[in-house]
Structure formats: C-alpha cells, structure tokens
Structure 1
Amino acid sequence: MTLAELTAKMKEGASKKSSFGNTVKFATDQGVVYIDGNANPPDVSNDDKAADCTLRMDFSDFSDLIGGKLDGMTAFMTGKLKIEGDMGVAMKLQSILR
C-alpha cells in the first residue's frame, strides 16, 4: 500500500469514530499521517503539523500496523515504534485504530 492508500483507509475508519481530544502524527520514511482527534469525526490528512503525540516507524511497519499484521504494543516493545510526546495519547490509539 502507498501512503495515500493508507491515509484513505485511516480516513474511512476515522469517519466512524468519535473525537478523542488529541492530535497524533505517524511519521514514516515516506511521509506523515496526521489525525486531528479534536474534530468529530477525527480528521485524517498528510499534513506535517505539530501533534500531542508523534509515532515514528518505518513505512513497511506502519503499513503492517494499519493492516492489522503488527500489534502496536509488540512494535513498541521490539523498537519498531518510537513514541514522542504524550504516552497516554498513544495508549488511546489502540481502540481508535481498530
């Protein structure tokens, strides 16, 4: 999947969710996906803005995470996912991405 395809998939999923009160950015080697959880439903874009929590990972791992092939906790524990900013926001993502 390309970054545009993953962004579209995340946008579709977010359209069914409620706001969660934070901003999150997934930063990969192929670009970013920004989720504005202050909007209802959350807004998903490729804007590189400041966020409450930034998750850094390789694009292939990001694709696996969004595709359900990689668990977020496993990615974090094995060093594939690095979290900057508010760890509590990262913990909320588990339910938001499902």
Structure 2
Amino acid sequence: MLNTIAERINTGLNGQGFEGSLKFDCGADGVLVLADNMASTVDRDTDCTIRLSLENLKALLAGKLNPMTGVMMGKLKISGNPAVAMKLGSLLK
C-alpha cells in the first residue's frame, strides 16, 4: 500500500522541489519518506518525522484530514523540525 502511495506522490511531484526530508512513520505498516525530491518506502533518518496510522496518512494525503486538527486530536505526532512538515502543505495542493 505504501509503495502505491509513494508512486502517486512521485507522479504528483512532477519535478517540484521539496527542501528537507520528511518521514511518515506508520508503525508496523511501514514508512513513507520524502527526500531528495522523491518519495520512497526505504527507512532513513529525516529532518522531521510524523507518526500516524496508515488510515490517517491516506486521509491526510486525500485532504480529508487537516494537519493541524490531526495534531490537536493526537492523530499525528510530529518530532524533529516542524518547519519541514509545514512545507508539505504546498505539495498537497
């Protein structure tokens, strides 16, 4: 499932730059890493990590979960540099 999401993100990036690195940590379901202007499912150290369930990741990427609401409700837990997570909003539009 995360491989499919990574492929869709790579298609959606279409050459857009993303400064920094960001990891979506879905626990036992795996990780999705945005780094070097691409998405992959290979785990690595990143500037920022967002811990969430796979279902919440799908909702976030579909625009059905507001990131700030998700943090306040405890559905998203951010560690590392939150400024990197803020840049994600421009990619989701």
Taking structure 1 as the reference length, the TM-score comes to: 0.85
Query: Which of 73, 76, 83 is residue 78 of structure 1 equivalent to?
Result: 73
Question: What secondary structure does 1:62 align onto?
Answer: helix
Could you tell me which residue of structure 1 aligns to residue 43 of structure 2?
48
Distance 1:52 1:91 in 2: 12
Deviation of 1:16 (Å): 4.3
State the identity as a percent.
36
* Structure 2 unaligned residues grouped into runs of 5+: none
The ranges of structure 1 where at least 4 consecutive aligned residues each deviate by more than 6 angstroms after the TM superposition are none
Distance 1:44 1:57 in 2: 17
Distance 2:24 2:92 in 1: 12
* Structure 1 unaligned residues grouped into runs of 5+: none
Taking structure 2 as the reference length, the TM-score comes to: 0.89
Question: Which structure features the higher share of helix residues?
Answer: 2
